[in-house]
Amino acid sequence: MSAAEARALCANLHCIDEDSAGDQRALDALGRWLIRFTPVVARGWDDNNTDSMPSVLFLDLTGSERLFGGIDRLIDRVKLSLARFGILTQMAVAPTLGAAWALAFTGGVPLAIIDSALLSATLEKLPVESLRLDDEILRNLHHLGLHRVGDVLTLPREQLPARFGPSLLKRIDQLTGVLIEPLSKLVNDPPITAKMEFDAPIESLEDIWLIFEKLLSSVVAELTCQNHGVRQLRLIFKPDRGWGLPTITRTIALSRPHRDRATLLNLIRCETERVDCEHGFVRFQLDVPLHESIAEVQTQLFEQRAVEEEIELDRLLQRLRARLGETAVIRPQLIEAYLPERAWRGTQDDSQDNATAVANAILPPRPLTLFPMPIEIRVVCEPSDDRTGEPRQFTWMGNVHRLMHAVGPERIAGEWWRGHHHTRDYYDAEDEAGRRFWLFRVLHTRGDHTISARWFLHGRFD
pLDDT, residue 194, reads 92
Domain co-membership, 355 together with 397 = no
- Domain final position from 363, 383, 410: 363
- Domain final position from 144, 176, 208: 176
Q: What is the mean pLDDT of the chain?
A: 79
* Distant-in-sequence, close-in-space partners of 347: CB < 8 Å, separation ≥ 6: 330, 331, 332, 333, 354
Residue 2 lies inside a defined structural domain of this protein: no
Residue 278: Cβ within 10 Å count? 10
Domain co-membership, 165 together with 203 = no
Query: Is 233 within 8 Å of 322 (Cβ atoms)?
Result: no
Domain co-membership, 45 together with 76 = yes
Residue 147 lies inside a defined structural domain of this protein: yes
Q: What is the pLDDT of residues 281-329, one digit of tens each?
A: 999 999 988 888 876 555 455 455 555 656 666 667 766 766 666 666 7
Higher pLDDT, 282 or 116: 282
Residue 52 lies inside a defined structural domain of this protein: yes
Domain co-membership, 374 together with 442 = yes
Arithmetic mean of pLDDT, 239-250: 85
Residue 346 lies inside a defined structural domain of this protein: yes
- Domain final position from 147, 176, 205: 176
Residue 12 lies inside a defined structural domain of this protein: no
Residue 11 lies inside a defined structural domain of this protein: no
Domain co-membership, 272 together with 302 = yes
What range defines the domain where residue 314 resides?
Answer: 192-324
Domain co-membership, 111 together with 213 = no
Domain co-membership, 267 together with 357 = no
**Band of pLDDT at residue 75, cut at 50, 70 and 90:** confident
pLDDT at 72 over 60: yes
pLDDT at 47 over 80: no
Query: Is 408 within 8 Å of 425 (Cβ atoms)?
Result: yes
- In 3D space, the residue among 23, 25, 20, 62 whose CA is nearest the CA of residue 186 turns out to be 25
| DSSP-H helix ranges across 46-134 | 71-84, 97-106, 119-124
pLDDT, residue 40, reads 86
Tell me how far apart the alpha carbons of residues 418 and 420 are, in angstroms, rounded to a whole number.
6
For residue 59, the surrounding DSSP H or E stretch is: strand 57-59
Domain co-membership, 34 together with 170 = yes
Domain co-membership, 200 together with 339 = no
Tell me how far apart the alpha carbons of residues 42 and 182 are, in angstroms, rounded to a whole number.
10
Arithmetic mean of pLDDT, 213-225: 90
Q: What is the pLDDT of residues 319-339, one digit of tens each?
A: 676 666 666 677 677 776 667
pLDDT, residue 412, reads 81
CATH code assigned at 202: 3.30.1490.100
pLDDT, residue 18, reads 76
**Band of pLDDT at residue 445, cut at 50, 70 and 90:** low
Domain count, the chain: 4
Domain co-membership, 161 together with 210 = no
Domain co-membership, 235 together with 315 = yes
Domain co-membership, 349 together with 313 = no
Tell me how far apart the alpha carbons of residues 97 and 176 are, in angstroms, rounded to a whole number.
9
Residue 452 lies inside a defined structural domain of this protein: yes
Arithmetic mean of pLDDT, 131-153: 86
Residue 119 lies inside a defined structural domain of this protein: yes
Length of the chain counted residue by residue: 462
